[in-house]
Amino acid sequence: MKLVVLDSIPFNPGDLDWAPMKQLGELVTYEKTTPDQIAERIGDADVVFTNKTKLTAEHFDAAKNLKLVSVLFTGYDAIDTAAARERGITVCNVPGYSTPSVAQVTFAHMLEFTHHVGEHSRGVHGGMWQQKGIFTYWDHPLIELKGKLLVIAGYGSVGKTVAQIAQAFGMRVAALKLSDKPSTDPTIERLSIEDGFKQADFLSLHIPLNEKTTQFVNADRLKLMKPAAFLINTGRGGLIDEQAVADALKNQQIAGYGTDVLSSEPPLPDNPLLDAPNCHITPHIAWASREAAPA
């Protein structure tokens, strides 16, 4: 049996031992794989492991022995799952391993917007406190989370963990009603998409990226939000229309956007969020706490 890993970094930057997998068969690992290299590299593979390298019907047709595709992280947005199903190829991933870490980074963004800890620290190191000449100063309104409404889009494992943390802060919590399925948590209020966008003080995205959720946050929905509201995204970059969010920030339609994910990673030079005001971007690190990451 031949096993192929298409993009071993960052899953294994050199601190993991592949020996256990080698016991299963011939193992070939690649640090990175470009789109034009995929077909050749998986041509005779029985099992393929991938992270962000996208696999399509064309690639599956080039891999006649392929029986299993395993995503090394959460989500299936890198895989044409319908094409895999048609060809009898099993697809799996690793759910749940980073839930606490992702929830924590969600609040890291929220807390940066509400107290601007990093910015105030840089100001102190730059001499601003001495210039003010008094025992305290702040450059932005300081906002308490208590009593604010957090609206969660995607009430799965991460969404539920975010809700629990929010309640500990004294926040009110609601979840968007995204399907007709009955609620599994009657203690959490369900809001329509329109009402959720209108009422949210914070709107946090935790839905998977697929055809139905691509650009879930668009210009029309951003217009529903309060000017004082913040949008947080630790899901996938494609969940938002990045140009629409950049425009909303520039036009002060929303107060801020905090994201750990972009539509293209690393960002393209012309990504509109790179020069948008009140936009905090972290480099897809929500999954990578010491406790969550492979060790």
β-bridge mates for residue 175, sequence order: 152, 190
Pick the catalytic residue from 26, 86, 265, 291.
265
Tracing tokens 């299963």 back to the chain, one arrives at: 24
For residues 249 and 275, what is the distance between their CA atoms, to the nearest angstrom?
10
Task: Give the active site residue among 31, 236, 242, 280.
Answer: 236
Distance CA 17, CA 246 (A): 42
- The answer to whether 28 and 5 have CB atoms below 8 angstroms apart is yes
Does the annotation count 265 as an active-site position?
yes
How far CA 149 is from CA of 146, 152, 163, 207, 238, in Å, comes to: 9, 10, 11, 19, 24
Active site residue 236: yes
N-term to C-term CA, the chain: 26
Active-site residue (options: 190, 284, 290, 291): 284
198 to each of 202, 219, 220, how far by Cα in Å? 11, 13, 11
Residue 238, CA distances (Å) to 189, 210, 269 in order: 26, 9, 17
* Cβ 287 vs Cβ 262: under 8 Å: no
Just list the catalytic residues. 236, 265, 284
